[in-house]
């Protein structure tokens, strides 16, 4: 989304957004940011990922962006990086490498170490 010199917003094919679309987009953004700031509020048990996906779906549903624009905005390099980091995190947790590294480092600085 870009802005012109007169302050109006443009999306995709240089179509200006209406005031209602700007309000809808701002409301969705504030809602997603709330769920990212407070991951599990007691009244709505949504996680960060679910809230973000629902926010993206609402942006398409409320016609802020079209479905084709939404697909064009997906960055596959970022998705691949995030999935790779999640896989590494799961493997590290499964094999408890953090504990092994901690014990090894503690041994290097004068503790008992890992035997």
pLDDT in tens, 76-99: 998 899 899 988 888 888 877 777
CB-side exposure of 11: number of CA atoms within 13 Å? 18
Within the chain, strands assigned E span 2-3, 9-11, 15-16
If asked whether residues 5 and 43 sit together in one domain, one would say yes
Domain containing residue 54: 1-74
Residues 59-73: what's their mean pLDDT? 88
pLDDT in tens, 23-38: 888 999 998 888 888 7
If asked whether residues 67 and 97 sit together in one domain, one would say no
If asked whether residues 7 and 61 sit together in one domain, one would say yes
16 in Cβ contact with 10 (< 8 Å) = yes
Q: What is the pLDDT of residue 8?
A: 52
Q: Tell me the average pLDDT of the chain.
A: 78
- Determine what percent of the chain is predicted with pLDDT higher than 70: 79
If asked whether residues 40 and 58 sit together in one domain, one would say yes
Q: What's the domain count of the chain?
A: 2
């Amino acid at each position: 989304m870009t802005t012109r010199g007169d302050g109006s917003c443009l999306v995709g094919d240089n179509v200006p957004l209406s005031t209602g679309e700007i309000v809808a987009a701002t409301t969705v953004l504030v809602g997603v940011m709330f769920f990212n700031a407070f991951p599990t509020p007691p009244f709505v048990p949504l996680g960060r990922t679910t809230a973000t996906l629902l926010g993206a779906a609402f942006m398409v549903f409320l016609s802020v962006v079209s479905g084709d624009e939404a697909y064009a905005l997906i960055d596959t390099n970022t998705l691949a990086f995030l999935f790779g980091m999640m896989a590494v995190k799961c493997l590290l947790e499964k094999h408890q490498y953090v504990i092994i590294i901690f014990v090894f480092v503690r041994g290097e600085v004068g503790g008992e170490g890992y035997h």
